[in-house]
Amino acid sequence: MLTLETDIINITRVGAATAKKLKKLGIATARDLLFYFPFRYDDFTKVTPIKDLQAGSIANVVGQIDLLQNKRSPRRRMNITEALITDGTETLKVIWFNQPFIARILKVGDRVSLAGKVDEDYGSLTMNSPVYEKIYEISNAGGDSAVHTQGLVPNYHLTANLSHKQVRFLIKQVIGSVALVTDYLPDTVKKNAKLISLGEAIKNIHFPKDNNEIKKARERLAFDELFLVQLQSQLVKRNLELSLAPAIKFYEAETKTFVDSLPFKLTDAQRKAAWEILKDIEQGQPMSRLLEGDVGSGKTVVAVIAMLNVVLNGQQAVFMVPTEILARQHYETVSRLLAGFDVKTGLVTRTNKLMSNDKFPMTNQCQNLNDKKLKLDSAGIVEKADIIIGTQALIQDDIKFRDLGLAVIDEQHRFGVEQRKTLMEKSGAKLVPHLLSMTATPIPRSLALAMYGDLSLSVIDEMPKDRKKIITKVVPEEKRQLAYEFIREQIRAGRQVFVICPLIDISDKLGVKSVEEEYKKLDKIVFPEIAMGKLHGRLKSAEKEKIMSEFLAGKIKIIVATSVVEVGVDVPNASVMMIEGADRFGLAQLHQFRGRVGRSVHQSYCFLFTQLNSRQANLTGQASSQADKTLARLAALVKYHNGFELAKIDLKFRGPGEVYGLEQKGFPEFKMATLFDYDLMKKAREEAVKLIEIDPSLNSWSDLKEKLGEWERGVHLE
């Protein structure tokens, strides 16, 4: 009997090989299949008569097979299956390549439903390799309807050698078990938010009858994701309101000395943000604040001002960052900025355990770090240091803080309840440490407040005055060689270059491999005389750190990386950001990539390579509007340099009503919700507040409490 926990291999037509592919997608059980949602739909709601077909269109045709034959193409050495389909209005030629088995499955006289692109071949219309299904009469006793070629047909993210057809077939088999899924939302919430049941939403998201069913299903599923975030936020907020934190006295004279010692002048936005934080940590309640600012806007120095005041109050501060490379760089920066103060700075990562020692002067040379620092174990550093910088190793290792007053988290502002609790347990103090989260993902204030109900918000919306604007250009394919020549000139002038390649789709043969291919092409053909390196997710941490260290030291001149690898380190000498397949990225992500250059006095450049061009944008039909939209987005990046302005433009381009959204780095991993579902966020927040007011323990809604626990564990494992 099929249950939600039935292993995928026990479902009909799933062998060991298919099960392995499905597990790559995170599908191990029948439940996983049900919650593996489509990212778009092919609209085959209308059957097109053959006489009305147009070249270039995507269409559904229903007709009878009049002729079917296999033949071999001597020129291309492939099997070709040809068919003639008639529907009473006209006859259509259909061709399948290297699929001779089709002639065994289909027979002359069969009625078939075909879906695919219509092509033109020597003046005649054809369909090449369309999806096909036999059409059976649907009797009262039941039968099969077209799942793959008619209606709104779901498309799923795939992996190599797995087809949409296979995934649809498997989901169709388990869709009946949706009745076993627990609907954990309280009835009052569903009624107030006008939501359908969870079972209905899952069924309709996979096999909708119309767009309204998709809309209602997506609304319910997106609401659930947003509601869980809001519920957690409201619980955190309530717990903090009932907790006590150290009151950090403001050391005005020392802070002024520090600010005056900086090699640059703080912007007004930095001053305002720093003051908001200092006022907040003076209170006896735990601060929970999000500091938002563009890449390069100076968030780190604002955090250092707060950390310095914490240390002057006799307490410790911890600065957690996502990667070892970034931790190492922040360690250098913070140690250098506080060189005039009696502050010991420690570094704790999996592979680095260091502490600054006032007997030794600081150095800018990363490769000399080990000679200039006192090496200790994690426990020793955490006991002796005033400011500890590191990765998640800080809360995973068996270490205890002396007296933790402030935790600063970079690019991880969904720092969970469990991690904060762990920090508290590792602190020698009974008080709750203050929390400052930082992000370079610029989103409008209204969205940030709706998204994170437990966080106060500080925004640095001003860049340093001496920062040169990064010259940004969209580079069509025909101008690629000119761009390469310009890059060569920049390297001759002593500069360095980032090359980013897109991770397009799990099923796409680019992805990680694209870095390998691009690296190979640039290294062997385009720039054989230039030292290069590559970064991608399959490299071990030590390898990544070695490559980035060599890039920082100037040994590597060009680094080729995937978008998923953290490249947020400060490389002042890098002056060119080259982005392959720029049309594949969202505006916010492109803007963040661009912010990795322009970090010094050198004029910097961002080149957006795209295969789209104005000719494509002038084509007719759906492809045209998509190309127009994409080129308009890239044009916005060329024109605007303010991340918050670009966020508003992204919101306008995207809109809240799309069926699927772009990934937003640094935010919760949503399957259905996006940062642009503002109205849904507000609704989710209102309902979460109401529930917490009635019963903050959530004991009245045991299913919801259990689901929230599952969700929190999932978030923290990511």
Encode pLDDT of 260-309 as tens digits: 999 889 999 999 999 999 999 998 888 988 898 887 888 999 999 999 99
Quote the tokens at residue 476.
């069509």
Considering just the CA atoms, what is the radius of gyration of the chain in Å? 29
Q: Residue 504 has what pLDDT? A: 43
Q: Residue 619 has what pLDDT? A: 35
Position 412 pLDDT exceeds 70:
no
Q: What is the 3-state secondary structure (H, E, C) of 63-113?
A: EEEEEEEEEEECCCCEEEEEEEEECCCCEEEEEEECCCCHHHHCCCCCEEE
Q: What is the mean pLDDT of the chain?
A: 81
* Listed range (33-42, 290-299, 442-451, 570-579) with the worst mean pLDDT: 442-451
**Rounded Cα distance, 438 and 455, in Å:** 11
Cβ-based neighbours of 288, under 8 Å, separated by 6 or more: 236, 237, 240, 434, 435, 454, 455, 456
Cβ-based neighbours of 396, under 8 Å, separated by 6 or more: none
8 A C-beta contact, residue 151 and residue 120: no
DSSP 606: E
Q: For tokens 């704790």, what's the residue?
A: 348
Q: Cα dist. 700→185, 188, 193, 696 in Å?
A: 12, 12, 19, 9
8 A C-beta contact, residue 155 and residue 40: yes
Query: Residue 305 carries which side chain, given as an amino acid letter?
Result: I
527 C-beta neighbours (distance < 10 Å), count: 18
Helices marked H in 282-323 — which ranges? 299-312
Q: 46-149 and 471-640 share one CATH topology? A: no
**Rounded Cα distance, 91 and 713, in Å:** 57
pLDDT band at 641 (very low <50, low <70, confident <90, very high): confident
Which class is 471-640 in CATH?
alpha beta
Q: Residue 166 has what pLDDT? A: 85
CA dihedral sign, ordered 515, 520, 526, 529 = positive
Q: What is the DSSP string of 247-284?
A: -----HHHHHHHHHHSSSPPPHHHHHHHHHHHHHHTSS
8 A C-beta contact, residue 534 and residue 513: no
Position 195 pLDDT exceeds 90:
yes
Strand ranges for 166-247 from DSSP E: none
Phi, psi at residue 442, to the nearest 5°?
Answer: -80, 115
**Rounded Cα distance, 545 and 234, in Å:** 38
Quote the tokens at residue 163.
């087809």
- CATH code of 252-282+298-439, in short, is 3.40.50.300
**Rounded Cα distance, 126 and 466, in Å:** 60
Burial of 141 (0-12, 13-18, 19+ CB in 10 A): exposed
Q: For tokens 């995937």, what's the residue?
A: 562
Q: Cα dist. 530→339, 497, 552 in Å?
A: 37, 11, 16
**Rounded Cα distance, 113 and 132, in Å:** 6
Q: 72-84 pLDDT, tens per residue?
A: 877 667 888 999 9
**Rounded Cα distance, 326 and 332, in Å:** 10
Per the rule left: phi > 0, alpha: psi between -120 and 50, beta: everything else, 88 is: left
**Rounded Cα distance, 260 and 257, in Å:** 5
Q: Cα dist. 491→211, 480, 495, 531, 532 in Å?
A: 52, 17, 5, 10, 12
8 A C-beta contact, residue 305 and residue 343: no
21 C-beta neighbours (distance < 10 Å), count: 17
* Domain ranges for the chain: 1-39+154-181, 46-149, 252-282+298-439, 471-640
How many residues does this entry show for the chain?
718
CA dihedral sign, ordered 647, 649, 652, 658 = negative
In angstroms, how far is the first alpha carbon of the chain from the final one? 32
DSSP 394: H
Q: What is the DSSP string of 541-593?
A: HHHHHHHHHHHHTTS-SEEEEETTS---S--TTEEEEEETTGGGS-HHHHHHH
Q: Residue 323 has what pLDDT? A: 79
Q: Residue 354 has what pLDDT? A: 82
Q: Hey, is 718 helix, strand or coil? A: coil
**Rounded Cα distance, 156 and 158, in Å:** 6
Q: Residue 377 has what pLDDT? A: 77
341 C-beta neighbours (distance < 10 Å), count: 14
Q: 577-613 pLDDT, tens per residue?
A: 999 888 877 787 788 888 888 878 889 999 998 876 5
Instruction: Calculate the CA dihedral of residues 363, 364, 366, 371 and round it to 10 degrees.
Output: -10
* Listed range (389-393, 421-425, 525-529, 620-624) with the worst mean pLDDT: 620-624
Find, among 305, 317, 309, 308, the residue nearest to 346 by Cα: 317
Phi, psi at residue 564, to the nearest 5°?
Answer: -80, -10
Quote the tokens at residue 716.
């923290």
Q: Are strands 558-562 and 496-501 parallel, antiparallel or unpaired?
A: parallel
**Rounded Cα distance, 33 and 18, in Å:** 13
Position 453 pLDDT exceeds 90:
no
Query: Residue 505 carries which side chain, given as an amino acid letter?
Result: D
* Listed range (56-65, 92-101, 262-271, 645-654) with the worst mean pLDDT: 645-654
Quote the tokens at residue 381.
């550093």
- As a whole-number percent, the residues of the chain with pLDDT over 70 amount to 84
350 C-beta neighbours (distance < 10 Å), count: 17
Its pTM stands at 0.68
8 A C-beta contact, residue 245 and residue 286: yes
Position 411 pLDDT exceeds 80:
no
Nearest 5°: the CA angle 365, 337, 348 is: 65
Q: Kindly state which CATH superfamily the domain 46-149 is placed in.
A: Nucleic acid-binding proteins (2.40.50.140)
Burial of 626 (0-12, 13-18, 19+ CB in 10 A): middle
Quote the tokens at residue 451.
């998204």
**Rounded Cα distance, 160 and 90, in Å:** 37
Position 514 pLDDT exceeds 80:
no
pLDDT band at 414 (very low <50, low <70, confident <90, very high): low
CATH architecture of 1-39+154-181: Orthogonal Bundle (1.10)
Strand ranges for 426-503 from DSSP E: 434-439, 456-460, 471-475, 496-501
Q: For tokens 């992204």, what's the residue?
A: 650
